[in-house]
Chain A
Amino acid sequence: MAAACGRLVPRGAGIALPGRCFSLSGYRVSSGEKPPKFQPPPKPVIIDRKTRKEESRFLSPEFIPPRGRKDPLKYYIERKDMIQRRKVFNIPEFYVGSVLAVTTANPYASDKSNRFVGICIQRGGKGLGATFVLRNVIEDQGVEICYDLYSPRIQAIEVLKLEKRLDENLMYLRDALPEYSTFDVNMKPVPRMGHEEIPVNKVQVRMKPKPWSKRWERPKYNIKGIKFELPEHKMQAAQKWSQPWLEFDMLREYDTSKIEEKIRKELSEELGK
């Protein structure tokens, strides 16, 4: 631009030439050329790779076969049936700590269905027998219902709030203050700002006074989500049951990465059809 302006007067140079004053902005009228054709800026290319990655990274835990001397044929057949059910009925992605609403068929109810809202405290079982336990406190009474994921009686599973907690098993909510297990039955689903990381709720739950159903302070449960208000000597005494050699026991480790990859590929092939 500066070169095309012919004789250039440096701005702010302090030299005031009489008359001549080129403007460096805009097009050059003085040279007599046509103004260049308007080029629109290039359209931004949105590569939506994130969606694909996030979806494919989640594999429901009941697909991973457990260790043991079992025939893999059994798990293969079960997986085929699970895929068949998933094609017909949508089982959403959820974790322990998410709030779900489940509608089941009930022949004795007035409108033939039953809706229950609760927080998922445990996901157990492998294959078709996979279950999840929902907990809620209704009219000051704690209620836990264990549902089969692949039961044909389930008409809808809706994730109201998708989040994780610090532990895989929230059975300690039974001994926690009831406010941590109460969820409004008519809760509106919390909209998820699509395709970010699953939020981890780092809440430290306060407990009712002892005795508890299990001694949650012992290291075998390895619970991070409780705010222990026990005296220090009790916490030290609980550490007596710790087994620090267990983390170095290499034969107990179960490396599922290769199995998971195979199952993911199989799933994506089958569900894509």
Chain B
Amino acid sequence: MRLSVAAAISHGRVYRRLGLSPRSRLDLLRNLVTALVRYERIETPWARADEMRGYAERLIDYAKRGDRDERAMRMADFWLTEKDLIHKLFKVLAPRFQTHPGSYTRLLQIPNRDGLDRAKMAVIELKGNPLPPLVRPRRDSDKTLLNQLLKGYRQDARPRGTPV
């Protein structure tokens, strides 16, 4: 009679196992959240960035409640190990995201790490940060077939000058 779920099956588990223990996992993510709030764009392994994303967004939701809220302050106090960032969270980040209802972070994958482990790396950044953008939206070149056809249409549609 099997009394517990077999160790290898993890159906429906949402939390990844990072670090040495559940406490260590939270400490790891806490350091990453602190770094994100300080530098607004960080480069970490993709798994850690993905775990951290949920916590960062919930932290900003708590910060939106305002610093008068007892619970919000306790959360910020736990999650930000450097205490000068609590001020930045409530005074800079919360007003920046006040109008947005959700998704305050952007997660982009980058080439694997150069070291021996070749880990899958990602860059996670807060939206609206002052750094230069990571992705430049590229317009299609003028020489593509569709653009040439559209250019011709626009020229034909324009009223011609008086023929002499």
Contact = CB atoms under 8 A, between A and B. Distances in A.
Interface of A: 68-69, 243, 245, 248-251, 253
B54 interface: yes
B58 A251 contact: yes
B23 A245 contact: yes
Given A250-B62, A251-B15, A245 B22 contact: yes
Contacts, number: 25
Contacts of B15: 251
B58 A248 contact: no
Contacts of A250: 54-55, 58-59, 62, 75
A248 B22 contact: no
Interface residues of B, number: 15
Nearest to B74: A248
A68 B12 contact: yes
B125 to A, nearest CB: 20
18 contacts: A68-B12, A243-B22, A243-B23, A245-B23, A245-B26, A248-B26, A248-B75, A249-B26, A250-B54, A250-B55, A250-B58, A250-B59, A250-B62, A250-B75, A251-B14, A251-B15, A251-B58, A253-B58
Q: Which 7 A-B pairs have the closest CB atoms?
A: A250-B58, A248-B78, A245-B26, A251-B54, A245-B23, A250-B55, A248-B75
Interface of B: 12, 14-15, 22-23, 26, 54-55, 58-59, 62, 74-75, 78-79
Contacts of B14: 251
A68 B12 CA distance: 8
A248 B58 CA distance: 11
A202 to B, nearest CB: 24
B38 to A, nearest CB: 19
A251 B22 contact: no
A257 to B, nearest CB: 13
Contacts of B59: 250
A241 to B, nearest CB: 13
Contacts of A245: 22-23, 26
A248 B55 CA distance: 10
Nearest to B78: A248
Given A248-B79, A250-B55, A250-B58, 15 more contacts: A68-B12, A243-B22, A243-B23, A245-B22, A245-B26, A248-B26, A248-B75, A249-B26, A250-B54, A250-B62, A251-B14, A251-B54, A251-B55, A251-B58, A253-B58
A248 B75 CA distance: 6
